[in-house]
Amino acid sequence: MLRTDITAAIRNAVMNELAEVGYGRLSIEAVARRAGVGKTAIYRRWSNKLEMVLEIISDVAGRKVPLPDTGSFAGDLQLLMMIVSRALQHRIASQIIPDLMAEAARNPQIAETLQRVLRTHQEAVGDKLVGQAIARGELPEGTDPAVAVDLILGPLYWRLAVARQPVGDDYLEKLTEAILASLRATTPPD
């Protein structure tokens, strides 16, 4: 097996182990077994479980998601929410995200890594989507991108990752309308 194939097998094994047993019960031995490699292959790449998980999660969470540009904020918003809802409902992500968020409450290194990666992604979403909408005159000047992203992503995260409620056929459409109404009605303070 090539070095890149071994690394890919280990990364895949880590994600599947995290989904099945969570961070607390994840072991180097189980990852090696699942990846079909010896423990030394893992220790050549990472010195411990925490370092391995942080690097892999940072890499996965930090991947650039293509941000929509449909020509309208409503279209961008609906497409983004569809992408995010599918990601949060993914078989592996739906297990890993709540576990890592709980682990972050106990482990400051995990918390800092997750916050850094998520903040970078949220800023990119806010800057592009809100910036485009302001430039097109669809949102008022001074609309706060951070607040907009909280309004966009917060309800989806709450519903899918925390409350673990399904998204019905018309939920994303209703949520889009509510977010649009809220952001358009918001007049920034002078």
Local structure of 56: helix, strand or coil:
helix
> Is it true that 3-48 and 62-185 share their CATH fold?
no
Tell me the CATH number for domain 3-48.
1.10.10.60
pLDDT, tens only, 29-62: 999 999 999 999 999 999 999 999 999 988 887 7
Q: How far apart are CA 15 and CA 96, in angstroms?
A: 8
Long-range contacts (CB closer than 8 Å, 24 or more residues apart) made by 135-138: 136/72, 136/73, 138/72, 138/73, 138/74, 138/184
Rg (CA), the chain: 19
> Would you kindly state where each structural domain of the chain is located, as residue ranges?
3-48, 62-185
Res. 188 pLDDT band, cuts 50 70 90: low
pLDDT of residue 169: 76
pLDDT of residue 73: 94
pLDDT, tens only, 115-148: 888 888 888 888 999 999 999 999 999 999 999 9
Res. 67 pLDDT band, cuts 50 70 90: confident
Topology of the domain covering 62-185: Tetracycline Repressor; domain 2 (1.10.357)
